[in-house]
Amino acid sequence: MLQLARAAETPTAPPVAPEGWQPRIVALVCNWCTYAGADMAGTTRRSYPASVRPVRAPCTGRIDPLLIIKAFEQGADAVLVSGCHPGDCHYVQGNLVARRRFTALRALMEFLGVDGRRLHFAWVSASEGVKWSQLVEEVTAAVREAGPFQDWGRRADSRRPAVSLPAVAPAPRSTPSTAEQQGVAEHLQRLAATLLDEGRAAVVIGYAAGSLPGQMVPTFVTRPEDAGTLAWSDGCVNNLAVYLPRAQREWGKAAVVVKRCDARAAVGLLQEGQVRRENVVLVGVSCPGVLEHGRLALKCYPCDGEVASHCDFTVTPEGARPGVARSAATREVAADPRDALVAHLESLAPADRWGYWQDQFARCLRCYGCRAVCPLCYCAVCVAETNRPQWVPTRIDGQGNLVWNLTRALHLVGRCGGCDECARVCPADVRLDLLNHRLRLEVETRFGYRAGEDPAAAPPMVTFRPDDPQEFIR
């Protein structure tokens, strides 16, 4: 059923199950194993609660996490996903790839504060009618206990105090002197002029002084004589890799100035075939860190700023050299403050975490600034703009915004290199950096993968290992 807008200006108490309420559980099951298993439960006369609405998919590999989100958006109290046991997949490996996606979705839902009793995963084979009926009984009991899911897209209890994040530790270093920055700028200018002159690039994408005090903005230099407009300072916040696919279309060969964090995105674009290596010249700048709101950006705390390993040139205050080289600088680093912020949120009660994120998403204007600045959000048509079906509700409210933010975060799992541009530009200060960071930690710890390091590596969400952890799957 369609749920019309739920107003949330007046304080609301946590929902109470209405009399006679029956859980609505959407079961997304694969055709070959679990659907047959459910059939088996029927033919062997096993009874189980009628609370599940099975939806048959060809394979768990075809169960996009968006379907699970859609089920919640449409009013499901819980979702159960089930398919063939590992090794039994009709399509050999569909369930193994799916397992990674479910891992990410589950981590995200848990981080948002969704009650764990609302999302269940299982492997049920065609012969396991008994397992299926027991599973449905257990899941139904859990959902009964959790009650109706009425707070999708809003705070469960608006009387609970708003959660605020702890203060971040002081920055481990200050950014360098103007003279040093000027040195980098001069070497960049000379290198850019040479690249354009020798025809190694038709455009150099770099930074130029903006119109506000201390502001740096992206610029496109196409003539050697204009290279003097290139600048460098601790205000060079933009990730210029975002322009690479467009530059390749427009100019063919493009040189782009990248900080270490930006280079991860460039590697992602190469890895995913969005730009050809021969069309890109990566000009790595040894970066002492950038300032956001007058302080060192959080992503810079753990980063020594040395250029990334795939750069074609290294620019330091001392000069510009081909290849990758270390700078003369020694930069103090510190623990990633995003780790502590994520840990803090994880230490809260799920209901408070849910409240925190719903407050954040309620502010979201759906300007899609996060999408626009993300080098890896390169789709010609974003899922948010498809309307058959309408994956992301166009309503700019708690529900629509929740779906959009879940979708954005999920699409960047295993791909986001952590440049935090999305969070920097968000006019509503939604902590997208923390969502991405939490998922990055998940991918690192469970799949041993760090995004943006190896252009030849398979992205983690389109591959699998037979022994991927699956303790959350029954």
Please report how close the Cβ of residue 392 comes to other proteins at its closest, in angstroms: 11
Please report how close the Cβ of residue 396 comes to other proteins at its closest, in angstroms: 4
Binding to other proteins in span 205-234, by CB under 8 A: 210-213, 215-220
User: Which window, 107-115, 322-330, 358-366, 465-473, contacts other proteins (CB under 8 A)?
Assistant: 358-366
Please report how close the Cβ of residue 425 comes to other proteins at its closest, in angstroms: 4
Among 20, 159, 164, 273, binds other proteins (CB under 8 A): 164
Q: How far apart are CA 110 and CA 350, in angstroms?
A: 8
Binding to other proteins in span 242-271, by CB under 8 A: 242-243
The 3-state secondary structure of the chain, one letter per residue: CCCCCCCCCCCCCCCCCCCCCCCCEEEEEECCCHHHHHHHHHHCCCCCCCCEEEEEECCHHHCCHHHHHHHHHCCCCEEEEEECCCCCCCCCCHHHHHHHHHHHHHHHHHHHCCCHHHEEEEECCCCCHHHHHHHHHHHHHHHHHHCCCCCCCCCCCCCCCCCCCCCCCCCCCCCCCHHHHHHHHHHHHHHHHHHHHCCCCCEEEEEEECCCCCCEEEEEECCHHHHHHCECCCCCCCCHHHHHHHHHHHHCCEEEEECHHHHHHHHHHHHCCCCCHHHEEEEEECCCCCEECCEECHHHCCCCCCCCCCCCEEEECCEEEECCCCCCCCCCCCCCHHHHHHHHHHHCCHHHHHHHHHHHHHHCCCCCHHHHHCCCCCCCCCHHHCCCCCCCCCCCCHHHHHHHHHHHHHHCCCCCCCCCHHHHHCCCCCCHHHHHHHHHHHHHHHHCCCCCCCCCCCCHHHCCCCCCCCCCEC
User: Which window, 37-45, 62-70, 367-375, 407-415, contacts other proteins (CB under 8 A)?
Assistant: 367-375
Please report how close the Cβ of residue 155 comes to other proteins at its closest, in angstroms: 14
Asked whether position 394 contacts other proteins by CB under 8 A, the answer is: yes
Among 187, 371, 437, 438, binds other proteins (CB under 8 A): 371
Pick 236 or 270: Cβ nearer other proteins: 236
Among 17, 428, 441, 457, binds other proteins (CB under 8 A): 428
Pick 243 or 464: Cβ nearer other proteins: 243
Output phi, psi for 316, to 5 deg.
-125, 175
Please report how close the Cβ of residue 309 comes to other proteins at its closest, in angstroms: 28
Please report how close the Cβ of residue 373 comes to other proteins at its closest, in angstroms: 5
Pick 9 or 471: Cβ nearer other proteins: 9
* Interface size with other proteins, residues (CB under 8 A): 46
Pick 216 or 342: Cβ nearer other proteins: 216
Pick 396 or 458: Cβ nearer other proteins: 396
User: Which window, 76-84, 171-179, 326-334, 370-378, contacts other proteins (CB under 8 A)?
Assistant: 370-378
Asked whether position 82 contacts other proteins by CB under 8 A, the answer is: no
Please report how close the Cβ of residue 201 comes to other proteins at its closest, in angstroms: 16
Q: How far apart are CA 436 and CA 434, in angstroms?
A: 5
Asked whether position 13 contacts other proteins by CB under 8 A, the answer is: no
User: Which window, 43-51, 328-336, 338-346, 360-368, contacts other proteins (CB under 8 A)?
Assistant: 360-368
Pick 145 or 250: Cβ nearer other proteins: 250
By the criterion CB under 8 A, which residues form the site for other proteins? 1-2, 4-5, 9, 162, 164, 210-213, 215-220, 238, 242-243, 359-360, 363, 365-369, 371-373, 385, 387, 390, 393-397, 400, 421, 424-425, 427-429
